[in-house]
Each structure stands twice: as structure tokens, then as C-alpha cells.
Chain A
Amino acid sequence: MQISRGVIKQLKKIAGETNVLTDDLSLALYSYDCSLSRTKPDMAVLISSTQVLAEVIQILNKHQIPFTPRAAATNHAGGCTTLYGGTVLDLTRLNHILTINTQFQFTDVQPGVITADLQDQASALGLLYAPDPASARVCTLGGNAAQNASGARCMKYGGTADYILEADWITPTGQTLHLDRNTPGPDWIGFFCGSEGTLGIFSQLRLKLIDEPKHVKTFLVTFPSLQAGIQTVSDLAAQGIIPRCVEAMDQYTTQTVEEFAHAGYPTQAHALLILELDGTPKQIETQAARLEEICRKNSCQTFTAARTEAERAKLWLGRRAAYAATTLTAPNVMVGDGTVPRSQLPLALQKVNDIIARYGLKAGLLFHAGDGNFHPHLVFDERNRLQASLAAKAAKEILQACVECGGTVSGEHGVGVEKRAAMAFEYDKNTLGFFAALKNALDPKHLSNPGKIIPVDFAEKCRPDTPLSPAEEQLAQEIKKRFEQKTPTCVAGLSSRRKHPKQTVLSTRGLNQIIEIDKTNYTATVQAGVSTAELAKRLEKEGVYASLPADKGTLGGAFATNICPEFSRQVTGIKAILPTGHLISYGGKVMKNAAGYNLCRLFSGSAGELGLITELTFKIYATPQTRLTLRQPATAQWPQEMLPVKQAADPAFLFGQVKKDSPL
């Protein structure tokens, strides 16, 4: 695409003469990231302040020039490449940590700050910024937020989305919005987090810091089979022991790593776990004893605890060197990022190994066992076209295998362009259509990182529609009827939290099934109309607990009104019927999901404005969850700028109270 001289002149005036690059060689250096995707942009703008960023976007929007944000460009899925040309916005210079507040434990940062820099600075003050992607030394916080990156500590501490308290968000039109987690309404921050720059750009973040645990203990445990190792992880979760890290390796990877790093790993074992506990010495001691007991029960071969800091460093040496060990064997490494329910890990790994063997490729297999997230490192030489195409095919089949195991195509790396086609394995037409509608709503000109996440021609290639239960079918028919008749509707459960006019109520009482309590994976799948009190009783009977207050209302109501933010954050899967009568399904029993827009966060606090929630899947625990914050039931509050989202879900503005001309 040809960018006119006038636009370049205007941009130079705003960004600085030397910060607008248009020559071929410079642009070639902005055509790649860590994936195989390479497309040359038409212009690159080096951004020096958040104000400049907003102004530049305004100009690009005015002239309908696509733009792609890029910082460290460490993305493994082609998220930073400009698929349709346009402009690369280089945010690396927005690298200032503005404040670290030790009293209220938060920090204000610009998006180009290196993750490890913040971790180091917080650590010096006795605080911890918990998300720790493996590339923390080079990746940026803005990139982490765009991908909802997590890392080894995710099982205990969660991902980036859980740590953003407030944010400045620049819309594709260049308008800056201030988003706050405490504002009633949908969790906009959680929704935008992981949107890979396709809906706008984070220009400033307020991140939560926590007290840094002073004591950490690391263990190396080996097992005769992978199943035994995974069972151990499930048993740990069942016992309420949530280690800070649970990293695992199969035998082939252990042998490769040991040959390279000499970390002292036993190469005879079929599975190896690195577990790390943190807390007070007493907590660690108690948990370590139970940990050993569980490992022994699952017939572990060796159980080694690091006694000194040097021993601990040695235990981590191999795990950290795993990527290096594979990069030395071939020029290119395709790092996969499938995630499956924890209980499905052995089956998924078996399938992955079969695929790798079938294609005659070499691969290391590493996984964050606590989250069911695994990273096959496929090694190949991109110059050898046959090998490169085999690797690409194998990677695609691996993602398909993950979906077959009830998983997702991305746990933390995002979809970008390379996994775009694989989205059709995971989502049906309605859900992908809803993603596309959301993108259209917030970026109607398709300028912000266009062409990412949503597959092309998905209607023909995507998986069959998610089947509806009889109760869902009945509700869907009713909603379709109301949509055709343009009948205003209010979704209600037991009407315990909010009162609605009787003639408009659409009740979820028929959705009263507790579908599954999975004690291997530690998730429960429950229909929205089940009352929270009844659910709590049933869970207690099963010996498990959820972060849920046992009040009078329904589960769906608790989620939609966001009365307990802790519970909303534990929801990993959602099914909902849109006001048009289409059923959408997002997530499931996976502990993390970076594929597509995070609908769990969008529907939490949406107060029935976006549709009727039919089913939720959420995390459960072996011990009662005591630290719950209770809030007043949220009434949806919609800023004017977010009205298109409401319109994408509910084109006729039939559901809820938000109207086209009068946002609340």
C-alpha cells in the first residue's frame, strides 16, 4: 500500500524526523518476529511517548492505514507482523517504570518496560510481580498484556490479566480510555488483555504487586511413567497444595537437556517434575511433607530437595537450558503452545509424540504440568522447504490433537497469524462469528493489527455447532422468537439480586444441572440456573470447594453481576445464548486460554446485557476458599465507546437496560 508523502510528513512532525522509517532495509527489519511469518510493512514509526502514540494512531485512522504494535517482537505466532502492510508502531522506547507504590503495592508502567526489569525493581523493594514468561528478560509488559502471557508460576499466581488493576487503552481511532477494574460492568481490562493488539493498544498499565515470598524450596521428582507424574500434580491440587511452579519433562527431553547442560537429571526416568513451594518456613515444611507423601504414593523413583541456593540453581539449570539445547541442534525452533485439561496431558502427549514420529521430526517436549500447558519445541531448518512444511503441518496437527483432548490451540503465546487457521478446530461458526463481530464493532475499519486471530472463511472450515441441551434449546428458541418480535428481555435467575418487570423476564431456572465435577482436573461444569447455595452443598458433599459465596441467587447471576471477583476470575469456560439466539462457547476445562477474545471476562459483570449465560466451567479446590470479596451486584455500566460491543451481541438492544441512545 502506498503511503502518501503528506501522511509521512505529518507523522514526522509528530513522531520526529528520524523516527519515521520508510526505506526498504529498515522496513525489512520490522518484517519479522520470532515466528516464521514475514511481511514487510510500508512504514515503521518509533514511538517516544504515549501522547505521540495516540496522535499517530489518529492520523493513521484518518487515512485508513493499518497499524501493528510491536515492542520486543518475541512473539511465536506472528502477532507482530503486518499481514496487510501498513505501519509498524515500535513501542520499545515507552520503557519507563513511572511509579512503584510500596504502600498500596502497585506500579505504573509504560508498555515497553521489560518484564524482568520490573521484577528486579519490585524484588529490591520486597515485592513480586508474579507473571514470569520464559522470555521475561526481553519481552515487554505491553506484549505480555496483549498476549495475556503467564509462565511457570501461573498455577499459583495466575497470568498477566490477573495483575492489571487499571489501564489506559488507545482505541483504533486514537482515543484514550481509562479502564478500571473496580468500575461496574464487564471486565474490559480482562477482555482486552489477550486481544493481541487487534482491538487497540495498552498505552499505560497499573499493575498489582504482591509480597515476595521470602522462602522458596525446590524439588526434583522422577516417575516411572508420565501418567504417574501427571496424577501427582492432580493429587497435589486436590490436596490444596498449589506449588509455585510445576514444570515437567518427558524422557527424550530430559536426555537432550542433560547432554547439553549436565544438570544432574536422572535420564532413566520416564517423567521428571520440578516442583517449587513458597511461603513461610512452616508452611513450606508442612506442604513439603505432604508433597513427598503424594509423590511416594504415586510411586516416584527419586525425590530430591534442593538444600542450598546453589543446588536450587542447578535443578533449574536444565529446565532453563531446554530451549537452548534445542536451538543448538537446528536453525529454527517452532515452539508449540497447546493446552489441555490437566487430566488429558498423558493422552495429549502420546498423540503429540505420535505426530512428531510420523513426520520424522525432532522435538523437545516441555510442559507447565500444573496448567496442562505444553510446549513442543519442533526443530527444523526453514531453508529446507520440505522440512519447514512438515514442521508446519505437524504443528497444526498437534493443535488439532489438543482440541480433540478438550484443550485449546494457545495457552499463553496467542494466535497471531500462524495459529489462525487452527482456531477453526476449536470454535464453531457462532463463536468465531461473535469474535468477528466484536472486532468489527471496536475496529470497523480493520486497522488495528488486522488479519490476526480470526480465521479466513471460517464458516466453511470451522467445527460443527456446539450441541444444545434440551433446556438450552428451549431457551434459544424463545430468544430467537423474542428477537424476531423485538421483545425487550431481562435475564433473571431467582431474582434475588435484581428485580425485573415480570413481562420481560427470561428465566434460567430450567438450567439446573450440575453437569460434571472433575476431581482429576479440579474443575466443575454447572448450568447457570443452579443456585449457589445448592451448588456449595453439593460440592461440599463431594469434598471440594469453589470461590463462591453460598447466597440465595444462581450461579449465572453471581457471575453476571460479578458479586465475587475471585469467582469470576476462576471461570475457565462459558456457554451463552446471544440475543440473536445463537449459542456461543468459549474455553472449558483448560486452566489457561489465549485463543480468541476472552469471553469469560467480557460476560463477567455484563449483567445480562450481552446474552443469557447457560453454563460455566470453573476451578474447584480441595480446601475451602476463605478469602472472598463480596460486592454489590453490578448493574452494567457502558461507556459510550463500548456501545458497539453491546450492539455486536445484541443488534436490536433488546436485552438489559442499555439503550442505543442512552448508555448507562
Chain B
Amino acid sequence: MNDFFSPTLDPHHPKEHIDALPAQSGTRSLYDSVCFCNRCNMCAQSCPTFRLRQEEFSSPRGRNQILRLVLEGKFKISAYRRQIEQSMASCLLCGACSAACPGKTPTAEHVLEMQRALGIRPLPFLLHKILSWRTASPRLFDWAATLCRLAHNGGAVKLLRFSGLTQLPFLRWVNHADDILPRKIIFLRQHLKKTVFPQNPGVLYLPSLEAAYLDGSLGLSSWHKLQEHQPAVLFGLSSGLFEYVYGSLRHARHAAQKLMMQAGNGTAPIVTDSADVYFFIKNYPRLFAHSKVWQRKARRLASRVRFIADYLPKKAKAEGYGRVQIDPSALFSFENEAFEKTEKIFRVIFKKNLLHYGYRDTPTPPFGYSFRKGNLSKQVCFCRVKDIARTQTDTVFFLSGLSALELNYWLKKYYPGAKAEHIVRLNG
């Protein structure tokens, strides 16, 4: 768009940044993309942090303008690091602002770019370390996950909490993790231990982190839904989403390359149960704007990826769910078609009992937010619960398992009349 001036955020580490941000048609450079925010403020009321704090610093428009001012050299990051970090870190990355924006400015992507310039977006150290092993060292991750499962199921975590050790700063995250996790953790592979996978699968199932490791029954439901259509095979790799959001772009690319290599040149669709993983893989080509070969491969993979909504039964029983709402909360997920597809199916099943999710409905914080911004996350969730209570919703269906786990905890606490479920749980 602009031939005169195209600044970069972090000229010394260009590979740590994406210079192909999503636009309505194709991609744009970061500066072009941020300049497409014309300050109309149509995003403000859809942003949960702005609605809570009512200040420009916490609004999508404010975040975009900070980035623009930094790109234009009017402010140095080093001089205002604390304030910039506060503004960017409070963003949920939910993408609700982009959905409300007439120009579809990808503010969440801008925030991530700024985060990369500031340094990584860290979770609590130990949690961050364990999750980063999933790509870097899968065996180590497996071992750590198993240890955590045994500690949780065996009551060691409860003991830890009772002893007060979880009040230590580096273990504080354990409290919330213990709160939101199911009473008994079963890995998906434990469920599928005796399953014989077909030689020529019709579909590859890429379970999300929660479906594979936290709530195996969610993965199992997805698995059964897929089996009803075609023989499936488990494809248990990391998509690189964690690295994209909380780690470095180099590691995210590495995970994506690994996934592409494993998927090969076949045509079998790759199905995931998480809207944010689905959206992330759809956007793989943007990660490889610098390499034509990898970009071609990424496009091929992106064309194969499907969301589990495609495999939901078209006719299901509506009894027992009451008034239903679909919560599209997931990372950047407001803009993908996964929500629309799901809504179409649910509209047929639930008819008038399906409540509209409006632009003023508070999104549920997506993965990791509650570990980083505990207090703010609590307030956002409380607003979400209030929305649910106000509309007298009985069941909230999610496109992402982690958001469902998060909200279920708060619903049990403040509004036990309602429950949160992943969409694959529809009729079991």
C-alpha cells in the first residue's frame, strides 16, 4: 500500500516476526496492517478488557495506535516498556475486535507482534517449560505430563495445596490448574490403547492439547464422531500454536514443518477439535512468507485441515440441553467459518432454543490467559457468567476444550444452573 515508508518493529531480528498479516484479500505488512485502523472505535464495545477498564490503554484502538507510534519511531519501546507491556499483555487475543472492525484489522496479531518485540509472552515458568517440551522434546513432555497426571489423580496436588506450598510464586499456577481440570485426568491414548489403527485411514485426527492430555474423554468423543464417518488414525503432533502465542516464531515454524512432513502428500483430511488450532493451521502459509517451497506445502496442508463441526451429526436430540448458546471464544477464532458452520448445525437442532451470541457478549478467556492475568481473567469470566445468567442459558457450547474447562469452573462457582461443553459432546 505504501511505497514511501515501511518500518519494521524489530530490525535486528526479522525472522522473529511475521511480515504477512491477514487481510480481507491476501496479506499486508505490519505497518500497512496497523495503518488500516482508522480509529473509528467500532471495536471498543466488543473488547472485554476495554469494557472492564474503560480506558484507551486497554482498548484495541489504543493497542493499535501504540504499535503505530512505535513503528513510526515516535516512542521507543525501551522508554515505555512497562506501559506497553501492560497494554499488550492484557489483550485476550480473542479476536472479537477484528470481528467488529469494519476493516477487519487483525489487532490480536498486532499485539502478538509487539509481544515478540518485547520478548516472549510467558506463562508461569514451570508451566511454560513443560508445554514448550511438547514440540522441542516430545518424550520429555510425555514423561512430565504423565508425572503431572499421576500427581493430580493420586491426590498429591491436593496435598500440595493443603500444605500451602502452592502459595510459592513459582507454584501458584497449580491452584488454578487444579481448579479447572477434571477430577481425574485420562490421556486420550489410554482410551485408545486397544484400538487398531487402519493402514489407509480416511481421516487423520489431530487432537488438541486438552483432548490429548487433559480431558481424554473429549478426545474420545471426537474420535467416535470421526469413526462414524471414516476410519481414522490418531495424529498426535503439536501444531505449533503454543509456540506461536507464547514462544518464538522459530519454534512455531519448526513445529509446523514437522507436522507438514508427517502429514506427507496424502489427501486425507486432518481434523482437529479445537477452533484455534484449526484457524492456526489455516494460516500456516503466512508463517512461511519467506520460503516458497514451505509456503506451497503449508497451503497444501491448510487445504486439508477440517474442523470437527463438519463431522457433527446433522440430526441430534435437543432434549436435556435447555437454552443453548455457542461461545466462539478461542484464539483469533472470531473470524473463521468454524463458528458459522457450527451455528448452522445447531440452529437446525435447537431452533429457537439457540441463543444469539451478540457483539456485547463477553468472550471466555482463551488458553493460557488465566495463568498470566489471573485477576483480569477472573473479572472477564465473571462478566461472562453474568451474560449467561442474564440470558438464562442452560448450556454453553464451545469450539475449544480449554475455554470450556475454564468457564465450567466459574459456572460451578457462581451459576451452577448452567454448564459448559465442547460441541463434540452433543449427544455424547
Contact = CB atoms under 8 A, between A and B. Distances in A.
B391 to A, nearest CB: 12
A389 interface: no
B290 interface: no
Interface stretch (B50-58, B252-260, B276-284, B306-314): B50-58
A256 B84 CA distance: 38
Given A95-B54, A328-B103, A331-B35, A28 B45 contact: no
B35 A29 contact: no
Contacts of B65: 28-29, 32
Contact of B39 (A23, A28, A33, A93): A33
Contacts of A24: 75, 80
B62 interface: yes
B42 interface: yes
A384 B40 contact: no
Given A34-B41, A114-B45, A328 B104 contact: yes
Interface residues of A, number: 38
B126 interface: no
B66 A384 contact: no
B54 A25 contact: no
Contacts of A114: 45
B51 to A, nearest CB: 9
Contacts of B36: 327, 331
Contacts of B40: 34, 74, 135, 138, 327
A311 interface: no
A328 to B, nearest CB: 5
Given A28-B69, A327-B102, A384-B2, A138 B56 contact: no
A137 B4 contact: no
Given A29-B56, A34-B40, A46-B54, A328 B24 contact: yes
Contacts of A116: 45
- In this complex, which of A32, A34, A120, A138 has the most chain B Cβ atoms within 10 angstroms of its Cβ? A138
B41 A74 contact: yes
B75 A28 contact: yes
B137 interface: no
A26 B45 contact: no
A295 interface: no
Interface string A313-354: 000000000011001101111000000000000000000000
A518 interface: no
Contacts of B1: 330-331, 381
A369 interface: no
B74 to A, nearest CB: 7
B379 interface: no
B5 interface: yes
A34 B102 contact: no
Interface in B55-96: 55-57, 62, 65-66, 69, 74-75, 80, 83-84
Contacts of A72: 41, 44
Nearest to A33: B39
B57 A384 contact: no
Contacts of A333: 38
B114 to A, nearest CB: 13
Contacts of B197: none
Contact of B80 (A25, A33, A112, A327): A25
Given A73-B41, A323-B102, A26 B57 contact: yes
A258 to B, nearest CB: 16
B133 interface: no
B66 A46 contact: no
Interface string A34-55: 1000000000001000000000
A137 B54 contact: no
B83 A332 contact: no
Contacts of B62: 29
A93 B54 contact: yes
A254 interface: no
Interface in B2-58: 2, 4-5, 24, 32, 35-42, 44-45, 54-57
A23 B38 contact: no
Tell me the interface secondary structure of chain A in the complex. Answer: loop
Contact of A383 (B4, B45, B84): B4
Interface string B96-109: 00001011100000
Contacts of A117: 360
B359 interface: yes
B44 A46 contact: no
Nearest to A18: B55
A118 B9 CA distance: 41
A160 interface: no
Given A46-B55, A327-B103, A328-B103, A29 B66 contact: yes
A32 B66 contact: no
Contacts of A137: 42, 45, 100, 359
Given A25-B84, A327-B103, A331-B35, A138 B45 contact: yes
A650 interface: no
Given A28-B65, A90-B55, A381 B35 contact: yes
Contacts of A33: 39
B387 to A, nearest CB: 13
A625 to B, nearest CB: 38
A138 B35 contact: no
Given A28-B65, A28-B69, A384-B4, A138 B83 contact: no
Contacts of B56: 26, 29-30, 90
B358 to A, nearest CB: 9
Contacts of A384: 2, 4
A92 B102 CA distance: 22
B45 A23 contact: no
Contacts of A29: 56-57, 62, 65-66
Contacts of B100: 137
Contacts of B360: 117, 120
A26 B83 contact: yes
A72 B42 CA distance: 9
B102 A331 contact: no
Contacts of A324: 102-104
A313 to B, nearest CB: 12
Nearest to B32: A331
Contacts of B83: 23, 25-26
30 contacts: A23-B80, A23-B83, A24-B75, A25-B83, A26-B57, A26-B83, A28-B69, A29-B57, A34-B41, A46-B55, A74-B41, A90-B56, A92-B55, A112-B54, A114-B45, A116-B45, A117-B360, A120-B360, A135-B41, A137-B100, A138-B42, A323-B102, A324-B104, A327-B40, A327-B102, A331-B1, A331-B38, A332-B38, A333-B38, A384-B4
Interface of A: 23-26, 28-30, 32-34, 46, 72-74, 90, 92-93, 95, 112, 114, 116-117, 120, 135, 137-138, 323-324, 327-328, 330-333, 381-384
Given A25-B83, A46-B55, A112-B54, 9 more contacts: A23-B80, A32-B65, A34-B41, A90-B55, A117-B360, A137-B359, A327-B36, A328-B104, A381-B1
Interface of B: 1-2, 4-5, 24, 32, 35-42, 44-45, 54-57, 62, 65-66, 69, 74-75, 80, 83-84, 100, 102-104, 359-360
The 3 closest A-B pairs by CB, nearest first: A324-B102, A327-B103, A29-B56
